[in-house]
Structure 1
Amino acid sequence: MAETTAHTEVPGGHKGVFPPFNKETFPTQLTWLGITFILLYVMMAKVALPRIGSILEERRGHIDGAIAEAERFKRDSEAAVAAYEKALAEARGKAHAIAGATRDKLNAEADERRKAIEAQLAEKLAAAETTIADTKAKAMANVEAIATEAASAIVEKLIGKTPSSDAVRAAVADATRGGRA
């Protein structure tokens, strides 16, 4: 079988300094650093920064447009709210006017009906009073005749003689008037 072993030795040795830290290569490194910096600067100034600037300007324009549109929508919504409130106030005014007119109309109709009913009741009352007066007059006429007959019968029973009908009528009439002449 083969024998396996691990070795930690590095062949060769360290020769010299790490190249970026070598003082002898500083001038060429600085030259390439300058050239690279100038190339990157020119590329950034001519390509990347204008693109970024145009993107920023486009975003600023988009944001300004959105703000202007939002302000326009706000003005439009405020105008719509004002128009709604105005229409609502007008509708309320019309509703109050219609309600007042309807109330006045119904009150007038109720007054007319009340007056008509009162007139009918007054007519019926007058007719009833006339009927009552007629009935009372008839009853009084009958009462006077009955009273005359009764008085004549009573006097006849008391004195045994039939009195004259004129005297009995005069006495009954005097009694119904309350003895007043």
Structure 2
Amino acid sequence: MPQFDFNTFPPQIAWLVITFIILYLVMSRFALPKVGGVIEQRTSRIAGDLDEASRLQQEATRSAELYATALAEARARAHIIHVEMRSQISAELEKERHGVEVELDTKLASAEARISATRLSALSDITEIAADSAREIILALTGDQTDPLLLRGTVENLKGV
């Protein structure tokens, strides 16, 4: 193998150094700047993306805070509306209940007056019916006609007993 021949080592080393220097110059002048540019471009793009993500995160946090504030305000307004409507409905129901109570009291008084009038009418009719019944019974038992005024007075005296 020629590369293991000690007589050809110095020229091989010389060509190795020359090739390495040429390769180093080509890489440092052409390839490495392009690779460095790509790396720098990616680094700046990643930094920009991180900045954008941070900005969006802050915006999302602000939006969440605004949402929470708006939600709290809406709940407070809903509670106020609920309390107002509840008190308004309670007032209307109380007014209606009072009106119904007045109407029922009026109907109750009217019914009591009718019952009282009917009772008095029935009591006055009872005296007359009792007197007529007594006269019919006396007539049936004795065959005598009794004075209706006398019987009415006797029945009225018995009512007090």
* Contact kept? 1:147, 1:172, Cα under 8 Å: yes
Q: Which residue of 2 is the match for residue 61 of structure 1? A: 44
Superposed CA deviations along residues 125-147 of structure 1, whole A, max 9, x for unmatched, are: 11111111112222222322333
1:89, distance to aligned residue in structure 2 (A): 3.2
- Shift of the 48–152 alpha-carbon distance from structure 1 to 2, 3 Å rule, reads same
5+ residue gaps, structure 2: none
Report how many residues are paired.
Answer: 160
Match 1:32 to one of 6, 9, 15 = 15
- Shift of the 150–24 alpha-carbon distance from structure 1 to 2, 3 Å rule, reads closer
Q: Distance in 2 between matches of 1:25 and 1:164?
A: 175
Please list, as runs of the form range in 1=range in 2, the aligned pairs for 1:1-181 lying within 5 A after superposition.
Answer: 18=2, 20-151=3-134, 160=144, 162=146, 165=149, 168-178=151-161
- Shift of the 35–142 alpha-carbon distance from structure 1 to 2, 3 Å rule, reads same
1:90, distance to aligned residue in structure 2 (A): 2.9
5+ residue gaps, structure 1: 1-16
Q: Distance in 2 between matches of 1:163 and 1:31?
A: 173
- Aligned identity (percent) is 35
1:60, distance to aligned residue in structure 2 (A): 0.7
* Contact kept? 2:131, 2:148, Cα under 8 Å: no
Superposed CA deviations along residues 99-135 of structure 1, whole A, max 9, x for unmatched, are: 3433333333233222222221211111111111112
* Greater C-alpha Rg: 1
- The structure where helix makes up a greater share of residues is 2
Which stretch shifts more, 145-154 or 70-79?
145-154
Normalising to structure 2: TM-score of the pair?
Answer: 0.75
Normalising to structure 1: TM-score of the pair?
Answer: 0.68
Superposed CA deviations along residues 130-174 of structure 1, whole A, max 9, x for unmatched, are: 111112222222322333454566667759574593x54443222
> Relative contact order (alpha carbons < 8 A, sep ≥ 6): 1 or 2 greater?
2
Aligned-residue CA RMSD (Å): 3.1
